[in-house]
Amino acid sequence: MKIAIGADHAGFEYKEALISFLKDYQIKDFGTYSAESADYPDFAHPVASAVEKGEFDFGILICGSGNGIAITANKHQGIRAAICWNTELAELARKHNNANILCLPARFISIKEAQEITNVFLNTDFEGGRHANRVSKISF
Protein backbone atom coordinates (compact mmCIF):
# COMPACT_ATOMS: atom_id res chain seq x y z
CA MET A 1 0.00 0.00 0.00
CA LYS A 2 1.29 3.44 -0.95
CA ILE A 3 0.55 6.34 1.39
CA ALA A 4 1.15 10.07 0.91
CA ILE A 5 1.56 12.02 4.14
CA GLY A 6 1.82 15.70 4.97
CA ALA A 7 1.38 18.12 7.83
CA ASP A 8 1.78 21.71 8.85
CA HIS A 9 3.82 22.75 11.89
CA ALA A 10 1.07 21.71 14.34
CA GLY A 11 1.10 18.20 12.90
CA PHE A 12 4.84 17.81 12.33
CA GLU A 13 5.54 15.69 15.43
CA TYR A 14 2.55 13.46 14.65
CA LYS A 15 3.63 13.06 11.02
CA GLU A 16 7.09 11.93 12.10
CA ALA A 17 5.59 9.46 14.59
CA LEU A 18 3.18 8.07 11.97
CA ILE A 19 5.95 7.62 9.41
CA SER A 20 7.79 5.44 11.94
CA PHE A 21 4.56 3.64 12.87
CA LEU A 22 3.81 2.89 9.19
CA LYS A 23 7.28 1.53 8.41
CA ASP A 24 5.78 -1.53 6.67
CA TYR A 25 4.06 0.67 4.06
CA GLN A 26 5.48 2.63 1.15
CA ILE A 27 5.34 6.24 2.40
CA LYS A 28 6.10 9.53 0.70
CA ASP A 29 6.58 12.50 3.01
CA PHE A 30 5.28 15.72 1.44
CA GLY A 31 6.43 17.86 4.38
CA THR A 32 6.62 20.00 6.41
CA TYR A 33 10.05 19.04 7.58
CA SER A 34 10.23 21.04 10.81
CA ALA A 35 8.03 22.50 13.55
CA GLU A 36 8.49 26.03 12.18
CA SER A 37 5.27 27.79 11.18
CA ALA A 38 4.00 26.54 7.83
CA ASP A 39 0.83 26.95 5.76
CA TYR A 40 -1.33 23.78 5.63
CA PRO A 41 -2.39 24.22 1.95
CA ASP A 42 1.27 23.88 0.93
CA PHE A 43 1.11 20.25 2.08
CA ALA A 44 -2.56 19.40 1.65
CA HIS A 45 -2.62 20.20 -2.09
CA PRO A 46 0.37 17.99 -3.04
CA VAL A 47 -0.93 15.06 -0.98
CA ALA A 48 -4.44 15.41 -2.41
CA SER A 49 -3.07 15.74 -5.96
CA ALA A 50 -0.99 12.59 -5.55
CA VAL A 51 -3.99 10.59 -4.31
CA GLU A 52 -6.25 12.16 -6.95
CA LYS A 53 -3.85 11.06 -9.73
CA GLY A 54 -3.76 7.51 -8.36
CA GLU A 55 -0.09 7.67 -7.44
CA PHE A 56 -0.98 6.73 -3.85
CA ASP A 57 -3.72 4.56 -2.37
CA PHE A 58 -4.35 6.85 0.58
CA GLY A 59 -3.29 10.14 2.06
CA ILE A 60 -2.81 11.23 5.65
CA LEU A 61 -2.88 14.92 6.54
CA ILE A 62 -2.34 16.45 9.96
CA CYS A 63 -2.84 19.97 11.27
CA GLY A 64 -4.00 21.47 14.55
CA SER A 65 -7.76 21.03 14.11
CA GLY A 66 -7.91 18.89 10.97
CA ASN A 67 -10.25 21.44 9.41
CA GLY A 68 -7.87 23.41 7.20
CA ILE A 69 -6.30 20.34 5.63
CA ALA A 70 -9.67 18.67 5.08
CA ILE A 71 -11.17 21.76 3.46
CA THR A 72 -8.14 22.10 1.20
CA ALA A 73 -7.93 18.43 0.24
CA ASN A 74 -11.64 18.24 -0.51
CA LYS A 75 -11.26 20.91 -3.20
CA HIS A 76 -9.74 18.16 -5.38
CA GLN A 77 -12.05 16.01 -7.52
CA GLY A 78 -12.19 12.42 -6.36
CA ILE A 79 -10.86 13.22 -2.91
CA ARG A 80 -12.91 12.30 0.12
CA ALA A 81 -10.95 13.66 3.07
CA ALA A 82 -12.39 12.87 6.49
CA ILE A 83 -11.51 14.42 9.84
CA CYS A 84 -11.30 11.61 12.37
CA TRP A 85 -10.63 12.02 16.07
CA ASN A 86 -11.52 8.47 17.11
CA THR A 87 -11.46 4.97 15.65
CA GLU A 88 -15.22 4.81 15.16
CA LEU A 89 -15.16 7.82 12.83
CA ALA A 90 -12.21 6.36 10.93
CA GLU A 91 -14.07 3.09 10.44
CA LEU A 92 -17.23 4.82 9.23
CA ALA A 93 -15.28 7.18 6.97
CA ARG A 94 -13.92 4.14 5.14
CA LYS A 95 -16.99 1.85 5.30
CA HIS A 96 -19.63 4.41 4.36
CA ASN A 97 -17.79 7.25 2.59
CA ASN A 98 -14.86 5.46 0.95
CA ALA A 99 -12.64 8.21 2.35
CA ASN A 100 -9.22 8.24 0.75
CA ILE A 101 -7.51 10.86 2.90
CA LEU A 102 -7.42 10.73 6.68
CA CYS A 103 -7.25 14.13 8.38
CA LEU A 104 -6.05 14.16 11.97
CA PRO A 105 -6.48 17.00 14.51
CA ALA A 106 -3.13 17.00 16.36
CA ARG A 107 -4.27 19.43 19.05
CA PHE A 108 -7.15 17.18 20.09
CA ILE A 109 -5.73 13.63 20.08
CA SER A 110 -2.61 11.91 21.36
CA ILE A 111 0.00 10.34 19.11
CA LYS A 112 -1.15 6.92 20.35
CA GLU A 113 -4.73 7.77 19.33
CA ALA A 114 -3.46 9.00 15.95
CA GLN A 115 -1.76 5.64 15.42
CA GLU A 116 -4.89 3.70 16.38
CA ILE A 117 -7.10 5.86 14.15
CA THR A 118 -4.67 5.47 11.26
CA ASN A 119 -4.54 1.70 11.70
CA VAL A 120 -8.33 1.42 11.59
CA PHE A 121 -8.59 3.77 8.60
CA LEU A 122 -6.04 1.85 6.55
CA ASN A 123 -7.44 -1.57 7.42
CA THR A 124 -11.16 -0.93 6.88
CA ASP A 125 -12.73 -1.68 3.52
CA PHE A 126 -15.46 0.31 1.79
CA GLU A 127 -18.79 -1.54 2.12
CA GLY A 128 -20.11 -0.44 -1.25
CA GLY A 129 -23.79 -1.29 -1.76
CA ARG A 130 -26.10 1.57 -0.89
CA HIS A 131 -23.05 3.62 0.12
CA ALA A 132 -21.55 3.39 -3.38
CA ASN A 133 -24.55 5.19 -4.84
CA ARG A 134 -24.19 7.98 -2.28
CA VAL A 135 -20.44 8.33 -2.81
CA SER A 136 -20.98 8.53 -6.58
CA LYS A 137 -23.09 11.66 -6.02
CA ILE A 138 -20.33 13.60 -4.21
CA SER A 139 -18.33 14.81 -7.23
CA PHE A 140 -19.98 16.63 -10.10
The residue extents of the domains of the chain are: 2-136
The angle subtended at Cα 84 by Cα 35 and Cα 126, nearest 5°, is 125
Q: What is the pLDDT of residue 128?
A: 87
Query: What is the value of pTM for the model shown?
Result: 0.96
List residues with catalytic annotation: 63, 96
In contact, 126 and 100? CB cutoff 8 Å: no
Q: Which candidate, 28, 12, 17, 38, places its Cα nearest to that of 117?
A: 17
Average pLDDT on 73-92 reads: 97
Region of poorest pLDDT, from 25-29, 106-110, 126-130:
126-130
Kindly indicate the confidence band of residue 60, based on its pLDDT and cuts at 50, 70 and 90: very high
Fold entry, domain 2-136? Ribose 5-phosphate Isomerase B; Chain: A, (3.40.1400)
